[in-house]
């Protein structure tokens, strides 16, 4: 099968980031051109390490991994070890990666790739803070019309915030970067908390990964056993929401999701609302739509897809 999507994943792994990478690597519809690491869930040295750990787990040590920005554009870095553990991938005991980190900065890789590839052929999939993407757009504005689409995990409307009362973590870490991305003119698909909070890791769903009997299945189950504990306590739900793989699932099966084309603006100055995605879901302003904002996901279909694809990995 020829790939339908040629993508770059921009990420701050994170257990749910790891599952997004694994889903992409397990899907022949997707050609993963590279992974760009950014500071977010944990600092940059760990996110760059974790991306390579995941590639090696999947048997894909040839995927190039690039380290990018180690802090937000204008703010101190906020991390989430309280959710992901001190390594970012707590829950599975995996060896340090043998594959090298690429010597090129992630921002330079993004710019070079979008300039060299056929215009409209590369989709960017940021599933962490948007610092790398925004820095590339700021440094090389000519790349914006060359990107096919941005499919990102971040933001919220009905579900409000998960790191502050108003803000989702990825946007909260670097709202100035998010503002640049949403103003870029690139077509954007937003997978917000409104959708991902429906993709809950129930016990039977985690057990299905463990039952695969593979190194990948065992690692995924271990990650989720650790990762979901925070959200179970916080939300009182049976499991935790599985955020980042929803971006790859949308590329593979957009029919699993429903949303609207709306205007989304980023609050950068609010005393209590910095990092808020101001989503005009009801069309009460005259601001033009700039994003497909997803609200619903078929959770059973999503987990069936994820389990079936991860079964293909060793």
Report pLDDT digits (tens) over 258-269: 999 999 999 999
Which tens digits make up the pLDDT trace of 11-45?
Answer: 999 999 999 999 999 999 999 999 999 999 999 99
- Residues labelled as active-site residues: 243
Provide the domain limits for residue 174: 5-310
Inter-residue contact 250 to 153 (CB < 8 Å): no
**Total domain count, the chain:** 1
What are the residues facing 313 on neighbouring strands?
Answer: none
Inter-residue contact 22 to 252 (CB < 8 Å): no
pTM for the full predicted model: 0.97
Give the residue-averaged pLDDT of 140-156: 98
**Whose CA is closest to 32, among 3, 1, 71?**
3
Residue 2: which pLDDT band, with cuts at 50, 70 and 90? confident
**What percent of the chain lies above the pLDDT cut of 90?**
95
Which CATH number do you get for residue 274?
Answer: 3.90.245.10
pLDDT at 235 over 80: no
């Amino acid at each position: 099968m020829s790939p339908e999507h040629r993508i770059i994943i921009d990420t701050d792994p994170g257990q749910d980031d790891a599952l997004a990478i694994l889903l992409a690597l397990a899907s022949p519809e997707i050609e993963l051109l590279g992974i760009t690491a950014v500071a977010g869930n944990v600092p940059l040295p760990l996110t760059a390490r974790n991306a390579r750990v995941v590639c090696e787990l999947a048997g894909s040590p040839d995927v190039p991994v690039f380290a990018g920005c180690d802090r937000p554009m204008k703010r101190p870095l906020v991390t989430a070890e309280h959710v992901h553990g001190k390594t970012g991938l707590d829950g599975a005991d995996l060896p340090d990666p043998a594959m090298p980190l690429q010597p090129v900065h992630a921002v330079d890789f993004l710019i070079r790739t979008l300039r060299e590839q056929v215009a409209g052929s590369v989709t960017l999939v940021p599933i962490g803070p948007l610092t790398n993407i925004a820095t590339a757009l700021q440094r090389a504005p000519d790349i914006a019309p060359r990107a096919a689409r941005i499919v990102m995990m971040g933001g919220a409307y009905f579900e409000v915030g998960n790191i502050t009362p108003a803000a989702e973590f990825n946007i909260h870490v670097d709202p100035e970067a998010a503002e640049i991305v949403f103003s870029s003119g690139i077509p954007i698909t937003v997978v917000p908390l409104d959708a991902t909070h429906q993709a809950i890791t129930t016990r039977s769903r985690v057990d299905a990964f463990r039952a695969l009997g593979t190194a990948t299945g065992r690692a995924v189950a271990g990650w989720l056993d650790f990762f979901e504990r925070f959200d179970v306590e916080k939300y009182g739900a049976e499991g935790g929401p599985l955020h980042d793989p929803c971006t790859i699932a949308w590329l593979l099966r957009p029919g699993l999701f429903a949303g609207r084309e709306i205007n989304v603006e980023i609050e950068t100055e609010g005393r209590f609302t910095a990092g808020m995605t101001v989503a005009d879901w009801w069309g009460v302003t005259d601001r033009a739509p700039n994003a497909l904002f997803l609200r619903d996901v078929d959770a059973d279909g999503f987990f069936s897809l994820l389990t079936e694809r991860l079964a293909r990995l060793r």
